[in-house]
Structure 1
C-alpha cells in the first residue's frame, strides 16, 4: 500500500526515551521553509500571514508539511448576527490555535470588503447612503450590490483554498455573518469537494447587557475609524436590524452540518455532528473559556533576579522599595490614580514574591500564587559564563546557540517547557474579565508575551523586559496593543 501524505515516516529512536525520532530534527523547520519573519516586538502579529519558518511557542512537534498529523484541513466558518463577537472570537481562537502549533489564518470578510470598496467614495453604488441597509443586508435589493458581494466572497473563498493548497495551511477561520442556511450548505459542499472539513461556530448572545456592551465595542471597527461615536453606534444598530429578518440560526433538524453553538461566550455550548478528535476537543475547551476581552494584562519583573534558582530568601529592604515603586507607577494608569479592587495579581510561590504582593492585598486586590510562574530552571548551566558553558558542555552549548527556545542544558528547563507549563494559566487568563498583574521573572514574562502578541518561538528568548518598566498589553477586538509604564528611580536592570 502506498502511504498517504498524512502518515509520518518513523525511524528507530537513536536515544532511549518515550518518544519517536522523526527524520527531520524535532524542532528545526524543514528544508521547504525558507523565509524569515521580520519581527517587531511592539506589534501584535496575529494578522500577519504565517511565515514558512514559523514555530509556535507551545508546538508539540514539527513535521515536513507543517501540519499536525491526522488532523486534516479544517475551515472554521463563523456564524452570527453583527455585534455577536464573531471577530473577537475568531482572533482569540486563531491566537490559541497558533500557540498550539496549528497553522491557522484569519479571513475576515470585512477586510475583503474594505479592500474592494470605499464606504465614503463609491458613487457608482451610492455606497455611503446604502451602507446602513442595502449592502449590509443578507438580502440586498440592489442587483449591483448583490453581484459585488458575491465577487468579494468568491475572492475570499479562493484565498482560503490557496492557503490550504499552497501554504501548508491546516485551519482557516472565515469570519462573516454567514446567516443564510442555503449559503452555508453551499460553502460546506465547496470545501468538501476539496477534501477540506468544515466546522461552523455560531455565536449567540441573548444576555442583553452583554449584547449592549459588545455592540459598543463593535463600533471600534475599522469601518468607523473616522466616525463620530454616536453616529457609528446608530449605523451599526441599523446593520443589525437589516439582517435580523433574514437571519437563520444553525439548526440540526434542517442542516446536516457539523457545528458548535456558543451562547454568551461559553455560558452554554451545543454541539452537533462533531467528531471529538484532538483539534475539535481543543476548540470546544477553548470556547468554554473564551470571553469578550477589553481589559489589560500588566507585567512587572520581580526583584532579586540574580539569585540562584533554589534560593528562596525573604524580601529585602531594596525589594520593598522596588515593589512600592511598581505599585505607585501602576496606580497612575487607573482613574483617580488608585489601584482598583478588582485587579487580580499573580505571582510565583517564592517567598519574596509572596511578600511583594502584600501591598496589593492590602489595597483590596485578589492575589493568587502560582507555582507555574517560577522562573526557568537553568540546571547545570546555572552561574556559568558563555566561555565556561562552551568548555564544559560544548555540544550542548552549540545546540543552545542554534535553538535557545527548545534546548535545555542538563537538569534544566527550556522555554518550550515553560510554555507547556503555563497553558492552564493562559486559558484562565482568557476567561477572567478583569485586569491582571503578573509579577514574575523575565523568562516567564517572555512566554506570556509570546502568546499575547503571536510571536515566533525563535524570537521569544531574545525579548528584553527592563526592570524599570511595567508592560501593559490591552485586548482589543482586532489586535492587542502595548503600552510601557516607566518606573522612576529604578535601574534598567
Structure 2
C-alpha cells in the first residue's frame, strides 16, 4: 500500500511533514467523488456569550425525521452531547491523534462498527470521522471492473490502478483531516487484508506521531455472517436499485473472491502492532499490546458493550408532560386512553412489519384474560442484571421513569407480558427555581439568567436545576445498555429525556437538542442501520376498548 500524496508541515510541530510521499497533495476539483473531501476548517469555538438570542431561536427544528448526522461535516468544535470539556484546537488535550484502522473480510460488520464508534466518540466531543474506502471505490470504479478490484494485487492493470488511486485518495483525506481540520480520531474502514499493508500503514502514521490501533472484526458464527450479508444486499450503497437476489449473489461472490487472500492478524512480524480482535461482534475481545491511553480505553470500553444492532428504538412522551417537576399524580381517564392507544398503535405497527413475537404476545394476552389484574413487578423484574434483556432479536422491552404516570402508562404492555423496566435515570430534567414558570415569567423574574440560557440552552442550568448536559451524563449507562441489546425498545419519558436519547442516536449537535419537538400524538421510531440511523413518525390512532 502506497500513496503519492503528502501534506505540508503542520503548525503543531510538523507532525504531518512529508507523510506518504513527497509531492504536494492534489486538491483538484475535477476528481470524481461521491462527496467533497472532508474539510471542517472553521475550528473556532463558538462565542456563545456574544451570540444574539435570536441565533438560538433560529435553530428550532421543524422536523426530527430523516437520516442521522453521523456522516455530516462538523461545523462547530463542540458537537457531542456528552462532552466533558472543550479546547481551542477542538482536540481533547490528553488523548493525541489516533487512527483506528479496521480489518476483516466483507460481511463482518466493519462499516457498522466504524459508524457506531464515530457516533459514540462524537457524542463524547471527540472530533471523529469515518473514512469508508467503499465510498472512494464507488466514485472511481467503472462498470467493466469485476470483483478483481477487491483482490489485494489485481491481475488487471486497470483494476490495480483504480485500487491504488482510491487508497491514495482516502489516506490523503485522512491526513488532511488531521492537519487542516484538527481532527482527533480517523476511522479507516477497509479490508486491510495483508500483514505487509497493515505494517506499512502503522509505520507511516507512527512517523507522523499519530497513534495507530487496528480493530480486526472476526466472525466464526455463520448465522452472523448470513445476517450481515442479507442486510448488505438490502441496504448497502453498492446495491441501490438492485434486485435482492442478484445483490445477495454478487456480495457472496465478493466474499469468496477475497477470502483466500485475507490473513488474520497475529503473525510474528505484526507483534509490534496494537490491535484488538473483535470476535463475533462482542462475544469475545482480545487485546494485543494494550498500553493504551484514555481515549483508546474509552473505545475498548465501548467495544465491550457493542453488538450488531437490530430492531428499533421507539420514543413516546409521557402523559401530561407539562406537569411540574414535583407533581406525580396517577393517570386519569384521558391518561388511560392515551396508554391504550399508545400500546395498540405500537402493536399494530410491529405486526405490519412482520414481527413474529407480537403473535406470541397476543396468545399470552388470551391466556391471561380470565386472570386477576396484573401483579406488581418485583424489584428483580424492574431492575434486572445487565445482559438479561435484548438477547433475542424478536423481543420488546419498555423503559420508563419511576414516575407514577409513566409506570401506569405501561399497563397495556404488561397485560401482554412485555418486559417493563423502571429506570430512575429517565426522570425529567429538574427545572430548579424556574419550575412552574412560563418562559415570559422567567424572562421577567430572572432576566440575566434567562439571557444566558437563551445563548446556550443545552449547557446552562438555572439555580438548583439540571441542564440537558447533566441528563446526557446521567443516561450514559443506559446508552451503553441500549448498545448491548438487540430487538425493540420503547422509551416512555418526559420530552427532555427523549431529546437527549434522540440526540445520541441521530448524532445531533448539542445546540440542536433543546429544540427537538416530541408530540404526544405520535411515536418516533429510530431504526438502526449499518451506515446511518433513520427516524420516522408513527401517528397514535384512537382504539376502542
Would you call these one fold, judging by a TM-score over 0.5?
Answer: yes
SS at match of 2:114: helix
Give 2:130's aligned residue. Answer: 106
Give 2:506's aligned residue. Answer: 453
Name the CA distance, whole Å, in 2 between partners of 1:376 and 1:287.
29
**Is the CA contact (8 Å cut-off) linking 2:60 and 2:516 kept in structure 1?**
no
Give 2:269's aligned residue. Answer: 254
Displacement after TM superposition at 1:38 (Å): 11
Q: 1:37 to 1:90 in 2, by over 3 A?
A: farther
Shift >4 Å, 4+ stretches: 25-31, 36-40, 336-339
Q: 1:37 to 1:183 in 2, by over 3 A?
A: farther
Name the CA distance, whole Å, in 1 between partners of 2:461 and 2:60.
26
SS at match of 1:254: helix
Name the CA distance, whole Å, in 2 between partners of 1:485 and 1:232.
30
Mapping of 1:86-105 within 5 angstroms? 86-105=110-129
Query: Deviation string for 1:237-272 (max 9, x for gaps)?
Result: 111111111111111633021101100111110111
**Is the CA contact (8 Å cut-off) linking 1:29 and 1:53 kept in structure 2?**
no
Query: Deviation string for 1:367-409 (max 9, x for gaps)?
Result: 1000000111101011123333233322211110110000000
Give 1:83's aligned residue. Answer: 107
Q: CA RMSD in A?
A: 2.4
**Is the CA contact (8 Å cut-off) linking 1:29 and 1:55 kept in structure 2?**
no
Give 1:137's aligned residue. Answer: 151
Displacement after TM superposition at 1:28 (Å): 5.1
Name the CA distance, whole Å, in 2 between partners of 1:37 and 1:115.
34
Displacement after TM superposition at 1:352 (Å): 1.5
Give 2:207's aligned residue. Answer: 193
Give 1:73's aligned residue. Answer: 97
SS at match of 1:334: helix
Using structure 2 for the length normalisation, give the TM-score: 0.80
Mapping of 1:85-234 within 5 angstroms? 85-118=109-142, 120=143, 126-127=144-145, 130=146, 133-219=147-233, 220-234=235-249
**Structure 2 residue 375 is matched with structure 1 residue 360:** no
Name the CA distance, whole Å, in 2 between partners of 1:38 and 1:407.
17
Query: Deviation string for 1:169-209 (max 9, x for gaps)?
Result: 00000001001110111111221222111110000010111
Name the CA distance, whole Å, in 2 between partners of 1:254 and 1:366.
50
Give 1:465's aligned residue. Answer: 518
**Is the CA contact (8 Å cut-off) linking 1:29 and 1:62 kept in structure 2?**
no
For structure 1, which runs of at least 5 residues remain unmatched after alignment?
7-24, 121-125
2:252 aligned to 237, 241, 244, which one?
237
Q: 1:187 to 1:258 in 2, by over 3 A?
A: same
Name the CA distance, whole Å, in 2 between partners of 1:89 and 1:38.
31
Displacement after TM superposition at 1:317 (Å): 1.5
Query: Deviation string for 1:202-247 (max 9, x for gaps)?
Result: 0001011112111111222111112211111111111111111111
**Is the CA contact (8 Å cut-off) linking 1:300 and 1:440 kept in structure 2?**
yes
Displacement after TM superposition at 1:487 (Å): 1.4
Give 2:21's aligned residue. Answer: none
Mapping of 1:21-36 within 5 angstroms? none
1:382 aligned to 424, 429, 435, which one?
435
**Structure 2 residue 528 is matched with structure 1 residue 485:** no
Displacement after TM superposition at 1:37 (Å): 9.4
Relative contact order, CA 8 A, sep 6+: which one is greater?
2
Mapping of 1:234-383 within 5 angstroms? 234-251=249-266, 253-255=268-270, 256-335=272-351, 340=358, 341=361, 342-383=395-436
Give 1:393's aligned residue. Answer: 446
**Is the CA contact (8 Å cut-off) linking 1:137 and 1:242 kept in structure 2?**
yes
**Is the CA contact (8 Å cut-off) linking 1:374 and 1:441 kept in structure 2?**
yes
